[in-house]
Chains A and B, each alone.
Chain A
Amino acid sequence: MTRGFQSSRRENLLLRRTALAGIAIAIFLFLVPAEAQAYVGPGAGFAIVSSFLTFLLASISSLFALVTWPVRQFFRYLRRRRAIQRAKVKRVVILGFDGMDPELAERYMKEGKLPNLAKLRERGTFRNLATTIPPISPVAWSSFLTGVNPGKHNIYDFVMPDRQRYLPELSSARIRGPKRQLKIGRYSIPLGGSRITPLRKGIPFWHYLGEAGVFCSVIRVPITFPPEKFSGVLLSGMCVPDIQGTQGTFSFHTTAVTKRESATNRVVVPFEKKNGFFGSYVPGPPNTLQPRAAEELRAAFRVKIEAANGRADIDLDGQRISIKLGEYSDWAEVEFKAGLGVSVKGICRFFLKSVEPELELYATPVNIHPMRPALPISHPLTYSMYLAKLNGLYATLGLAEDTWALNDGYLDDDAFLEQCYSNHREREQMFFDALSKTGQGVCACVFDITDRVQHMFWRYFSENYFATAPSHNHKGPLVIEELYCRMDHLIGQTMEKISADTLLLIVSDHGFKSFQRGVNLNTWLHQNGYLALKEGAPEGDWYENVDWDRTRAYGLGMNGIYLNQKGRESKGIVEDGKEAAELRSELRRKLEGLKDPEASRVAITKVFDSHEAFFGPYRENAPDVVIGFGDGYRVSWNSAQGRVTDTVFEVNKKAWSGDHCIDPALVPGVLFSNWNISGEGHSITDVAPTLLELFGLAVPPHMDGKPWATAPPTGD
C-alpha cells in the first residue's frame, strides 16, 4: 500500500509538473488563435487550435490541390482540348483605361511622354477604337464584354426610365428587399436575402472561355454587378452601389450648419459640440429591420481637434483615427446596427478639410465592406475577401472617385486627385496579383481613373476658363498629362511581366471632349411643342411640372429622348408604329444640326433613330432617339435631372468639364497592342469575338463584333 502511495505521489508530482508545463503550453496555444471564421469560412474553429487548424487546412488544401491536380487537369484538358489545339495565344492581358483619348495619347506620344505606348505603336498596334451609340461607359463596356450591340445587351445609359412613374432607375441592376418578411412588433425580419436582378443581358466572353477551360481573371470591368458565376475570378466594377444602395452618397460634416441638408449624392451633417468633442454620424442605409424607424441607420462618431497642430482624432465605434489637415484617413470600418444583433458593415475614408474657423470633415460614400459584403461584389464571394486580406481594404463602390464632391466644392482639386490615385493604387495591386495568377487565359482589368480625372480636369485645357476656380496649387493641364504618364508607366510595368506569347490589349471605351455648354433637351422639347407643362406649376426636378397627357417626348439620361408611347408609358399618347416612327423622324430632322445661337456652333451633330441604331430583343427599352452632341456640348445638368428651364443652352460652370456623351464619331477610344492587329474599322464590340477566336472557340452567331486579324510581333 505504502509503496503504491509513494509511487502514486511520484506520479502525481510528475503529473503536477507536467500539468504546469501543459498549462504553459495551453496558455500559449490559447493565445495563438486566429479568427478562423474570416478566412476559412463560417463555422470554423477558434482559439486554442485555430492556428493549428489553419495550418492543417492550408496543408490539406494544398495537398488536395496537388493530389487531385492530375485528375482535374485531365478533365480540364477534355474541356480545353479544342481551345488548346486551335488556340493562337497562351494568355491575353487586357488593360482597360476608361476614357483614354486617342488624340491626347497621340499628342503625348509625339512629345515623348509615353514611351511604352509609343513602343506599342511602333512594334504592334495603335488605332482608334470605335465606341458604341451612345458612347457612355456602361454601354461601351457592356458591348466590350458581350460582343453585341446595345439592342442585345440592354444597356443604353447609366439610367433608364421607369415608364410607370417617369423617373430614372439604374439600368444595370435592380436591387430589392427580400421576398418575404416576418413582422414581429416593430421589427420586420427578412426571410431571405436581397434580390438582385441583373439587367444587363448577353453573355460575357469569360463565360464561353470558362466553359472551354480557359481561366479568366476579371477585375473591375464595368457592369459586372451582380457578379455572375463562371470558371474564374471576378471583382465587380462600375455600378456596384454603396451601402445606401446609391451610386455614391458622400457625407460632409461641418460646424457651419445647424441642420442636416440632403441632396442627390450628398448629405451635410452638422457637428454638435459636447464635452470638448464634436459629435456627428455617418448616414447609413434605411433600417429595413425597423421600417417604421424615423431615420436611417447611423454610425455615430466624435472628433477631437488639435487646432494648433492641424489634426483631428476621430473616435468611430472604438476605432481611433488620426488625420492631419488636408489628408485622408485609411479605410475605416463603419458598422450600422439595426437592432436584434443585426448590423451592416461598410468602409469609408475621412478627409479633414478644415479645423478653423469651422471644423469640416468629408467622408467618402460608405463602400460595401469587401470582407463582409452586404451584397455580393465578386465571384467567388471569397475573392473580394481574398483581395482585402492580401492588400488591405479597398474601394468597392462602382464610381469610387467622388466627382460630385469636387463638382459641388466639398473637395478641392488636390483632395480629389489624392482620392483618385489612392483608389488607383489599390487597383494596380489587384491587377498585378491577378496577372500573377493568370499564367494562361485572360486577365482583364479596367482602370477608372482616366475617365474621372479627365471629366474633372479638362477645364484646364480651355483658354476661356469658365469652370470652378482652381485650388491654389493645382497643376492645371499637367494633371491630365501626368495621368497619361502614370498609365504609361503601368503599361510599362505590365510589359515587363509578359512575354511575346502574351497578347496585350490596351483599350478604352471612348475618348474625351470638352463640355462647355449644356443643351437642355427637355426645354427644347417644350419650346417645340413636344413636352407640355402644367399651367402655373413651378419648375421642378424629374418632370414634376410635366403634363404627361399632352407630352409626346421627354429627355432622360445623357443622350436619350423617349417617346411618351401609348401602352408603354403609363400616360402614353403616341401610338406605336407609324405615328412613333414619324415622330422619331421629325425629332431627328429638327435636332440634327441644331445650332447654338450664342456660340454660333452646331450643338448636335448627329441624331440616331433607335430603330436604325439598335437591333436585338431589347431594342424596345432603348431611347427612341439618341442625341449625338457636337464638340463642346453635352446634355445640360438641368435636362439630365428632368428639369425644364427657360433656355435651351446654358454654360457649364461645374468642374465636370470634359465629357464623352456626345456624337460617338467624335470620341473613339484607343486600341494599343503588342501584336499586330490589321484591318479597318475596329470596334470595342469586336473584343469579345476576337478573344474567343484567339482561344480557338467558335464565335457565337449572335455576336455583332468581328474578330480581328492578329499576329504576334516579328523580330525584336
Chain B
Amino acid sequence: MNFLLRLIERTFDTAFYLMRAFPPTLVLAIFSLLTTIAALLVFRKVSDQRAIRKAKDKIGAHVLEIRLFPDQLSVVARAYIAFLRSLASYLRHILRPVLILFIPLFFLFLQLDAYFAHTPLSAGQDFLVQAKLAIGQPLEHVAMKLPDGIAMTAPPVHIPPDRIVVWRLRADHDGIFLLQLAMSQKAYTKRVVVGGGIRRVNWDRERGGIWETLTSQDEPPLPAAGPIESIQVQYPDREIALWRWRVNWLVPFLGIMLISALLLKGFLRTEL
C-alpha cells in the first residue's frame, strides 16, 4: 500500500515539476481536462453504453410524454411513474462505472488537494505549529528542535485542557525544512514547505489507521501508541483567481470537467 501511495505521489510530483513554470490555474485546467478525458474513456469502457443510452432515451420519452399529452391526467401519471422507473434504471446502469471510477478519482483528488488546497509558507513571515499530545502526556515534556533557517519568534504556548502546545516560528529562506519534536526520548518530525510556487503541502501529520495513511502526503502517520496525536502546520489556504472571484480549486476544476465532458463526450463516443 505504502509503495503504491509513494508511487502515486512521485508520479504527481514529476508531473507538477514538469509544469512548475505554469500558473496554477493553467495547471489545474490541464489536470481537469486530462481527468475528464480519462474518466470518459474509462466510463465508456466499463459501462453498458447501450443500456445507458436506452435508459436515457426512455427518460427523455417520458418527459416528452408529459409535455405532449398534458390534458390526459392518467397519461401524465403513468408517464411520471415510468419516468421514475427509467431514472432508477439509468442510475442502476451507471452505478458500476461510477464505483469503478471512484477509486482512481479519489486518489487523484487527494493528490491535487495536496498541491492546490494550501500555498507554501512565505519566508520572513510567522507561522504556527501545533502539537496535540496523547492523554496523560505532560505538555512541558515536548521540545521543538529547529533546523537551520527556522527560528522561534515566541515561546511555546501550552493549552492543558486541549493537550496542545503551539509554537510561533519563522523561516528566513525558501526550502523544505524538517521540524523535530522530541518527547520521551523519541523524535517526531514534521515537514515544513516554505516558498516555491505549487508544491506538495501536508499541513497535518496524525497518528491513525488506513484513512490517515491514505490521506497523508509523503509523511507516514505518527505511531499509534506514541505520545503525540498530531502535528499541524498553519499553511495559508490557496485560492484560485476566477475573474473577479477567488475560489477554492475544486470550483474551476469541476467546472472545467463539466464543460469539457459536455464538449468531448460526443467526440469520445461516451454515453453519460
The listed residue (B73, B87, B272) touching A35 by CB distance below 8 A is: B272
Task: Pick out which of these stretches binds chain B: A53-61, A108-116, A272-280.
Answer: A53-61
Task: Pick out which of these stretches binds chain A: B5-13, B89-97, B192-200.
Answer: B89-97
A32 pairs with B106, CB closer than 8 A = no
Q: Does B205 have its Cβ within 8 Å of any Cβ on chain A?
A: no
Q: Does B145 have its Cβ within 8 Å of any Cβ on chain A?
A: no
The listed residue (B64, B130, B269) touching A2 by CB distance below 8 A is: B130
Known: A33-B272, A39-B63. A27 touches B73 (CB 8 A): no
A2 pairs with B258, CB closer than 8 A = no
For the complex, what is the distance from the CA of A55 to the CA of B166, rounded to whole Å?
A: 51
Closest chain A CB from B69 CB (angstroms): 5
A389 pairs with B57, CB closer than 8 A = yes
Known: A5-B166, A32-B94, A35-B272. A65 touches B70 (CB 8 A): yes
Task: Mark interface residues in B50-90 (1 if CB within 8 Å of A CB, else 0).
Answer: 00000011111111111111111111110110010001001
Task: Mark interface residues in B146-163 (1 if CB within 8 Å of A CB, else 0).
Answer: 000000000001010010
Known: A23-B109, A39-B59, A437-B75. A9 touches B130 (CB 8 A): yes
Give the residues in chain B near A12, CB-CB below 8 Å.
203
Interface residues of A in 29-46 (CB under 8 A from B): 30-35, 38-40, 46
Nearest-neighbor residue (CB-CB) of A26 within chain B: B254
Nearest-neighbor residue (CB-CB) of A5 within chain B: B128
Closest chain A CB from B236 CB (angstroms): 12
Closest chain A CB from B195 CB (angstroms): 22
For the complex, what is the distance from the CA of A215 to the CA of B59, rounded to whole Å?
A: 24
For the complex, what is the distance from the CA of A439 to the CA of B74, rounded to whole Å?
A: 10
Nearest-neighbor residue (CB-CB) of B211 within chain A: A17
B254 pairs with A19, CB closer than 8 A = no
Nearest-neighbor residue (CB-CB) of B156 within chain A: A2
A58 pairs with B130, CB closer than 8 A = no
A39 pairs with B60, CB closer than 8 A = yes
Give the residues in chain A near B73, CB-CB below 8 Å.
65-66, 69
B254 pairs with A30, CB closer than 8 A = yes
Give the residues in chain B near A35, CB-CB below 8 Å.
56, 272
Closest chain B CB from A573 CB (angstroms): 55
Q: Does A139 have its Cβ within 8 Å of any Cβ on chain B?
A: no
Nearest-neighbor residue (CB-CB) of A13 within chain B: B204
Q: Does A259 have its Cβ within 8 Å of any Cβ on chain B?
A: no
The listed residue (B64, B77, B130, B215) touching A6 by CB distance below 8 A is: B130
Q: Does B262 have its Cβ within 8 Å of any Cβ on chain A?
A: yes
Closest chain B CB from A339 CB (angstroms): 17
Q: Mind listing 28 A-B residue pairs with CB under 8 Å?
A: A6-B159, A19-B113, A26-B250, A27-B98, A27-B101, A27-B109, A30-B254, A31-B43, A31-B98, A34-B272, A35-B56, A38-B56, A39-B59, A39-B64, A47-B261, A51-B90, A55-B87, A61-B63, A69-B71, A72-B70, A72-B71, A382-B67, A385-B60, A386-B61, A386-B65, A390-B57, A439-B74, A439-B75
The 10 closest A-B pairs by CB, nearest first: A39-B60, A389-B61, A390-B61, A389-B57, A386-B64, A2-B166, A65-B70, A47-B258, A61-B66, A389-B60
Q: Which residues of B contact A (CB under 8 A)?
A: 39, 43, 56-77, 79-80, 83, 87, 90-91, 94, 97-98, 101-102, 105-106, 109-110, 113, 117, 128, 130, 157, 159, 162, 164, 166, 203-204, 215, 232, 234, 250, 254, 257-258, 261-262, 269, 272
